[in-house]
Amino acid sequence: MSNQENVVAMVGTPCQIIAAENMSYFQDYLGESPVDIKVGLFCMENFSYHYLNQLLEERNIQLKDVSECRVEKGHMWFYLTDGQIQKIPLKEVKTCMRKNCEVCMDYTSELSDLSVGSVGSPDGWSTVIARTVKGLELLKKAEEDNYIETKPMTDSGIALIKKLACQKKEENKKKIKKRESVARPVIYRRFITDKQFREEVADCQFEDLKADVIDVGTCVLCGSCEYICPDDIIKIEDRKPRIKGQCPPDCNLCYVACPRTYLPVEVASPDLDQKPLGDYMKIVSAKASLVKGQDGGVVTALLSYALSDGIVDEALVVDKSSAEPWRPKVKLTSNIDDVLRASGTKYAACPVFKGLKSKNIKEEL
């Protein structure tokens, strides 16, 4: 399916990283993996752009006047271009949380090559977890080439990440149980093997994806379904994937690619529920030497280094829309300036895999 010839690094939330890992695992079904290096972010929750904007307008804050946005110390902080700082208690902001985040069990992007977050490290530094040889190599080389500096994490820093990761897993496990007692199963948490998976999904098409994921509020809006559809009939519109045509018989690609349909244990093992930080090789605090980012600027520095050293040809990043302030907008780019411009956290869901799709469409035209 994929005609992604270039080596691509992506940055994404844990759910988007699961989607990438799932597509990589099912290459025999879905075609060559679209992503080669996965830089995952820590993520407790994400918000609806529409509702967050509404909440801010009620408090006379215009997103166009916001220069920086942070979640810390129980509040969401908005740094305005005129120098003012506004804060809203996280409890209130959580009314804008996306429903799919209530059933999410991954805080630290457990399936990434490198995970990056703010928690556990001092201000101006990021926490970096290297999980694979590929990730560790990138971290080491970026430090050798002076793109970043690293230092050991403190025990209290590691303990804090573990505490938050456990908290997310425990609270959301309860929410999954509650949801399942009144509605349909949260099927990505039904642990089945690869063999069972292939039997289970054989006849599943978009209508099943709609019934099992979209209509039950577990869609993370990653865009994998739109990216993978060979007939190009899925469009994410009005915050939901929608179908614009008829599925040919025998196609089930969207159902296989989705990170919220069944996930075989070979992709996401139930053991991870017992490991708050997932499996990893090294954990450090790090900061970029020259780049300014949300925290240590490490994601931007690592992607810039990977592009400049030819480790990857392109990076899939999330910038801001020029039409709507702070609306996340995906960009697949080989230009380091685009990566630098995309630094900083946009607290809203972004169908990142659409970025790959638009490249394919452009090439076909």
Ligand X SMILES: Cc1cc2nc3c(=O)[nH]c(=O)nc-3n(C[C@H](O)[C@H](O)[C@H](O)COP(=O)(O)OP(=O)(O)OC[C@H]3O[C@@H](n4cnc5c(N)ncnc54)[C@H](O)[C@@H]3O)c2cc1C
253 binds ligand SF4 (CB under 6 A): yes
Q: Which is nearer to ligand SF4, 243 or 291 (CB)?
A: 243
Distance from C-alpha of 303 to C-alpha of 339, rounded to nearest angstrom: 7
The footprint of ligand SF4 on residues 3-22 (CB under 6 A) is: 13-15
Q: Which is nearer to ligand SF4, 228 or 291 (CB)?
A: 228
Q: Which is nearer to ligand SF4, 26 or 147 (CB)?
A: 26
User: Which residue in the set 225, 267, 283, 303 belongs to the binding site for ligand SF4 (CB under 6 A)?
Assistant: 225
Q: Provide the minimum distance between the beta carbon of 97 and ligand SF4 in the complex, in angstroms, as a whole number.
A: 8
Q: Total binding residues for ligand SF4 by CB under 6 A?
A: 40
Stretch that binds ligand SF4, among 31-39, 96-104, 188-196, 312-320 (CB under 6 A): 96-104
| Angle separating helix axes 133-144 and 298-308, nearest 10 degrees | 90
Stretch that binds ligand SF4, among 143-151, 153-161, 239-247, 289-297 (CB under 6 A): 239-247
* Tokens matching residue 83: 């120098």
Q: Provide the minimum distance between the beta carbon of 204 and ligand SF4 in the complex, in angstroms, as a whole number.
A: 8
User: Which residue in the set 112, 224, 285, 304 belongs to the binding site for ligand SF4 (CB under 6 A)?
Assistant: 224
Stretch that binds ligand SF4, among 3-11, 76-84, 139-147, 240-248 (CB under 6 A): 240-248
DSSP per residue, 235-279: EEETTEEEE-S-PPTT--HHHHH-TTS--BTTTS-GGGGG-TT-S
Which residues lie closer than 8 Å to 224 by C-beta, 6 or more apart? Answer: 19, 22, 23, 254, 257, 258, 259, 353
* Among ligand X, ligand SF4, none, residue 297 binds (CB under 5-8 Å by kind): ligand X
Amino acid letter, 223: G
* Among ligand SF4, ligand X, none, residue 224 binds (CB under 5-8 Å by kind): ligand SF4
Q: How many CA atoms lie within 13 A of 76 on its CB side?
A: 22
CA-to-CA separations, 352 to 42, 236, 316, 328, in angstroms, rounded: 16, 11, 8, 9
> In which region does residue 79 sit, left (phi positive, over 0), alpha (psi from -120 to 50) or beta (all else)?
beta
Interface with ligand X by CB under 6 A: which residues?
11-13, 41-44, 46, 116-119, 126, 293-300, 317-318, 328, 342-348, 350
CB atoms within 10 A of CB 309: 13
Stretch that binds ligand SF4, among 51-59, 97-105, 112-120, 183-191 (CB under 6 A): 97-105
Contact 271, 110 (CB under 8 A): no
Distance from C-alpha of 224 to C-alpha of 26, rounded to nearest angstrom: 13
* Among ligand X, ligand SF4, none, residue 63 binds (CB under 5-8 Å by kind): none
Residue 282 forms beta bridges with which residues? 130
Contact 38, 26 (CB under 8 A): no
Nearest to 183 by CA among 217, 231, 222, 147: 217
Residue spans of beta strands (DSSP E) within 20-138: 37-41, 66-72, 75-80, 85-89, 114-117, 126-130
Q: Which is nearer to ligand SF4, 307 or 351 (CB)?
A: 351
Stretch that binds ligand SF4, among 48-56, 157-165, 208-216, 314-322 (CB under 6 A): 208-216
Q: Provide the minimum distance between the beta carbon of 318 and ligand X in the complex, in angstroms, as a whole number.
A: 4
Q: Which is nearer to ligand SF4, 120 or 223 (CB)?
A: 223
45 binds ligand SF4 (CB under 6 A): yes
* Among ligand SF4, ligand X, none, residue 96 binds (CB under 5-8 Å by kind): none
Distance from C-alpha of 199 to C-alpha of 195, rounded to nearest angstrom: 7
Applying CB under 6 A, the residues found at the interface with ligand SF4 are 13-15, 43, 45-46, 98, 100-101, 104, 106, 205-206, 209, 213-214, 219-225, 228-229, 231, 233-234, 241, 243, 247-248, 251-254, 257-260
